[in-house]
A = this chain, B = another copy of it.
């Protein structure tokens, strides 16, 4: 690497040693792709897992595995302790008041479906409105679409501004006494926008509107405090915060969860069963039917430990530097236009290049070892809003380096050369 002045953002920058050290925890970052070092910039789709989480999962399988809750024997008690211990870690991680408010699910998608079915179906009727932002992931649209069909409630879209910010003025105007539920992501996976959730939640409380916050893209990037945010429901996935697939969390305020009917039925979520009468279990078990994702929950707990072991404040500011650097660097690519330039963003850049389809960009970048996502990012309404079929998205994590941004830019220059793009 060249030695360069660190102050000139448009020049090359050196990645801090602390980051290079962190990278060693992630075995996959040593991968070669097409004989080039992997440059993994698809963290928005799924983040990579550190050795520490893998080791925890392995140790669980090698020494402790058993079903939870129902056993008096040693392994079952150990598994239960690990599983419930992870719940406590997650509680602290999001600042929930009690583990009763921390429901394990299979991911963000199931978390939101749970709220839509258990809360939405029971509390919505014709004439009611569900406010959904125009930048939502399909996970926070489709379940509501299904519930709206069933209840006759109406979906009202909260518009977004040209820079990809939520239109807060429009939101204020949309608030009325028929609004029951508001759905917004904390961070947009297509635009990178960080939404002012605390302010939105305050507005919602004033109107008695229930907030359903999709935190999938937030939890891996900055600390969360659901009580400080003042939200009612908060959903996220393990695999977007360096934990395993197959597990996620629904945070819900105890008062709301307590009144809701279960989403799914089965073992463990009941106190007693006969064919005539069934009594539901207590929180959070009422919402955890059947054998839960035990190893995955324990792995997620290890991901929380891992994140807590790092200096998250440093990581956040490093990711900001990465974003700033990437934003600047991408300016050197002819015909490139960023989609999503809100003032508050995580380290993610979505963009289009005049005359080149994102799919072709993705393939050519892949040939250079650079993994980005191309397409609609499960956020078709965002694409419609900006009148584009798809974007290319480079989404970073704290283990990405300035050199990797250089590799991205170099690969993009090859694209524009091949496709003969000029400004």
Cβ contacts under 8 Å, A145 to chain B: 265, 273, 275, 278
Listed stretches A163-171, A217-225, A239-247, A304-312; interface member: A239-247
CB nearest to A374 among chain B residues: B72
Contact A67/B54 with A265-B138, A290-B107, A378-B268 known, Cβ cut-off 8 Å: no
State the 5 A-B residue pairs at the shortest beta-carbon distance, nearest first: A109-B290, A142-B265, A246-B293, A246-B246, A109-B266
CB nearest to A40 among chain B residues: B75
* A291–B142 touching, CB < 8 Å: no
Contact A76/B371 with A48-B65, A290-B139, A291-B46 known, Cβ cut-off 8 Å: yes
* B58–A267 touching, CB < 8 Å: no
Listed stretches A9-17, A31-39, A202-210; interface member: A31-39
* B295–A244 touching, CB < 8 Å: yes
Listed stretches A249-257, A347-355, A359-367; interface member: A359-367
CA distance A116 to B269 in the complex (A): 17
- 6 A-B pairs within 8 Å (CB atoms) are namely A38-B74, A70-B373, A106-B290, A142-B269, A246-B296, A273-B380
A160 interfacial by beta-carbon distance below 8 Å: no
A422 interfacial by beta-carbon distance below 8 Å: no
A388 interfacial by beta-carbon distance below 8 Å: no
CA distance A138 to B279 in the complex (A): 12
Cβ contacts under 8 Å, A31 to chain B: 63, 75
A66 interfacial by beta-carbon distance below 8 Å: yes
Residues 159-200 of A, flagged 1 when their CB comes within 8 A of B and 0 if not, give 000000000000000000000000000000000000000000
A260 interfacial by beta-carbon distance below 8 Å: no
Q: How far is the CB of A161 from chain B (nearest CB, A)?
A: 18
* B110–A264 touching, CB < 8 Å: yes
Cβ contacts under 8 Å, A365 to chain B: 73
Cβ contacts under 8 Å, A375 to chain B: 70
Residues 58-85 of A, flagged 1 when their CB comes within 8 A of B and 0 if not, give 1001111111001111111000000000
CA distance A269 to B278 in the complex (A): 32
CA distance A108 to B67 in the complex (A): 14
Q: How far is the CB of A157 from chain B (nearest CB, A)?
A: 6
Contact A138/B267 with A65-B48, A378-B70 known, Cβ cut-off 8 Å: yes
CA distance A155 to B66 in the complex (A): 33
* B291–A76 touching, CB < 8 Å: no
CB nearest to A244 among chain B residues: B295
* A267–B72 touching, CB < 8 Å: no
Q: How far is the CB of A131 from chain B (nearest CB, A)?
A: 11
Contact of A267 among B137, B144, B296, B370 (CB under 8 A): B137
Residues 317-337 of A, flagged 1 when their CB comes within 8 A of B and 0 if not, give 000000000000000000000
* A142–B266 touching, CB < 8 Å: yes
Q: How far is the CB of A150 from chain B (nearest CB, A)?
A: 10
A20 interfacial by beta-carbon distance below 8 Å: no
Contact of A45 among B45, B67, B116 (CB under 8 A): B67
